[in-house]
Structure 1
Amino acid sequence: GLSRAVAGELLTLIVLSNMVVGLVYGQVIARHHAARAPLALGTVGASALAWAVTIAYPGDHAPMWLLITLCAVLGACGPASMIGFDFARPANPPERQGTASGIVNMGGFTASMTTLFAVGVLLDATGDNYRIAFSTVFVLQAIGVVQILRLRNRTARRERERLVASRVEAVHVPA
Structure 2
Amino acid sequence: MKRRSLGELTAIIIAVLFVLLMLVVPLISVLTNALSKGLDFFVKAISTSHVISALGLTIGTMIVTVLITGVFGVGAAYCIGKFQFKGKSILTTLIDIPFTVSPVIAGLALIMTFGRMGWLHPYIEAINNYFNLDIRIVFAVPGVILATVFVTFPFIYREIIPVLFSQGKDEEEAAAMMGASGWTIFRRITFPAIK
Q: TM-score range by the shorter chain?
A: 0.3 to 0.5
TM-score (norm 1): 0.37
Name the one with the larger helix percent: 1
- Pair member with larger Rg: 2
